[in-house]
Structure 1
Amino acid sequence: MGRRTPSAYEGKGYLQVKASNGKCLTVPYDNGPAPPAGTQLFWWDCETRWFCASQLWNVVPVQVGTADANRTAYRFVNHWTGLRLSLGPATAGESGGRVTQDTCPK
């Protein structure tokens, strides 16, 4: 899996998450309101002429760990919905499980 920073969003923390087949991780869009937490994401052709907020992800570093050991992890927050990339709880332990969006912990 790779990443691509759209030139219009250079330096703003947004990128596209791109699979080896050339598709980008995308929040479903149907000309309506943003979909809620729990919505399954999918792989769609990467936008190249303009950049769609449903394919833009902000990479946010967060500190995780215990009192004796901290490390940096990253949250991917969708530009359009403000929700984070998550694994679907029912399939989180499976290879090829569902990728969804969820609310960000505070």
Structure 2
Amino acid sequence: QVGSNFGRSVEISGDGNALCVGANKYSFDGSGKGLVRVFNYSNGSWAQIGNDILGENPGDQAGNRVSISNDGHVVAIGAHNHFGSDGDRSGHVTVFRYNGGVNKTWKQIGDI
């Protein structure tokens, strides 16, 4: 998407087989939630694994910073523009684990 800042943040797993990419200004509906995609390297090419991981709230800009575990199955996503419960832009971090079974989805396992 034009203007999404795809590649704003990038991290490769310790084993070199997974790549986490943030697009903090991605906005499928004009909301500016942000987006993260994870790719796996296999047979000479990169392919997305699991679903897109979207920011929670309008304006979050999730994907401004990303981190990925050594094996590529856990990602942490920073949303620096997230509004906290007090109404201030206090930021937010969400943590997801890849469920590679039948569903092949990213499931949120925590937040800070």
Q: Report the TM range for the smaller structure's normalisation.
A: 0.3 to 0.5
- With the length of structure 1 as denominator, give the TM-score of the two structures: 0.35
- With the length of structure 2 as denominator, give the TM-score of the two structures: 0.33
Q: Choose between structure 1 and 2: higher helix proportion.
A: 1
Larger Rg: 1
